[in-house]
Amino acid sequence: MGHRPKPPPNEERAAAMEVRRRTQAIGLAGLCLLAPPLLRLARPFPPASPSVPPRLSPPPPRDPAEAALREAAKCRNRARIAVNEEREALEAWDPQGLAGTAPEAWRLKQMAADRGSDMERARVLARQATLLARTREEEYAATELLVLIEHETGHHAVELQSARTLVALQPRRPRAWMVLRRAARCNGLQPLARQADAVVAVLETVPSH
């Protein structure tokens, strides 16, 4: 049985080069197909945005009385926050500096000092709201805030007068009598405080309609 004759050297080299060329072409084509998915994987993911609920803005005030009342409440709240921050700073600087001091008594003293004049602005706006009120409920809300402002600034005689107005506006509301009870105690009127306490006890047993 005879042997197949070997191809000439030039043809053998050409065939090997052709095989190598096709292999490289196939490899390059495969790399091109894989490149887009690999690039997508290598691309950094965008940071996840925190889920923050949208802040709902309050509706605009219905009338000038409500606008004045809102501004009064803002001024009073600003003063309250400033006093709380002052206490936190003092306690951080000297933890024992306020030891033995009743927190509420200290708070009322600082509110009455009214260093930023926010409480005075709140008083003016609350009084304005009582004059602008068009309904009994608006007048009640403005008067109740005014009572609180007078209480926190130490004007207890005016506090009592406004608390009596509050009861006159809503005589069947337990909250109004509670405010009068506090004002009576601040003015040393214990009989009035006991009377208010008795009325509160009765009104709280009456079902609300």
Q: Are residues 166 and 112 in the same domain?
A: no
Task: Locate 143 and state its tokens.
Answer: 């008067």
Is the four-CA dihedral 108, 109, 113, 115 of positive or negative sign?
negative
Q: Are residues 190 and 124 in the same domain?
A: no
> Are residues 66 and 123 located together in one domain of the fold?
yes
Give tens-digit pLDDT for 58-84.
788 888 999 999 999 999 999 999 999
In which band, very low, low, confident or very high, does the pLDDT at 38 lie, cut at 50, 70 and 90?
very low
Question: Domain range holding 108?
Answer: 61-139
Mean of the per-residue pLDDT values of the chain: 83
Residue that finishes a domain, picked among 78, 107, 139? 139
Regarding whether 169 and 116 lie in a shared domain, the answer is no
pTM (two decimals): 0.71
Q: What is the rounded average pLDDT of the residues 19-37? A: 53
Q: Is it the case that residue 99 has pLDDT exceeding 70?
A: yes
Asked if residue 129 has pLDDT above 50, the reply is: yes
Low-confidence winner among 34-43, 138-147, 178-187 (lowest mean pLDDT): 34-43
- Indicate whether 125 and 189 sit together in one domain: no
Residue 44, pLDDT above cutoff 90: no
- Residue 91 is predicted with a pLDDT of 81
- Asked whether residue 120 falls in the same domain as residue 165, the answer is no
Same domain for 167 and 128: no
Asked if pLDDT for residue 14 goes beyond 80, the answer is no
Same domain flag for 129 and 182: no
117-125 average pLDDT score:
97
CB 175 within 8 A of CB 147: no
pLDDT tens-place string over residues 153-186 = 999 999 999 999 999 999 999 999 999 999 999 9
Query: Band of the pLDDT at 201, cuts 50, 70, 90?
Result: very high
Domain count, the chain: 2
My answer on whether 104 and 159 are in the same domain is no
pLDDT of residue 64: 95
Residue 171, in any domain of the structure = yes
Q: 155 near 179, Cβ under 8 Å?
A: no
Mean of pLDDT values over 24-47: 52
Which residue type, as a one-letter code, is found at position 34? Answer: L
Q: What is the mean pLDDT of residues 27-36?
A: 50
Backbone φ/ψ region at 117: left (φ over 0), alpha (ψ -120 to 50), beta: left
**Residues 74 and 99 reside in one and the same domain:** yes
Residue 44: inside a domain, yes or no?
no
Cα 37 to Cα 29, 47, 170, 190: the distances in Å are 14, 20, 73, 83
71 and 132 in a single domain? The answer is yes
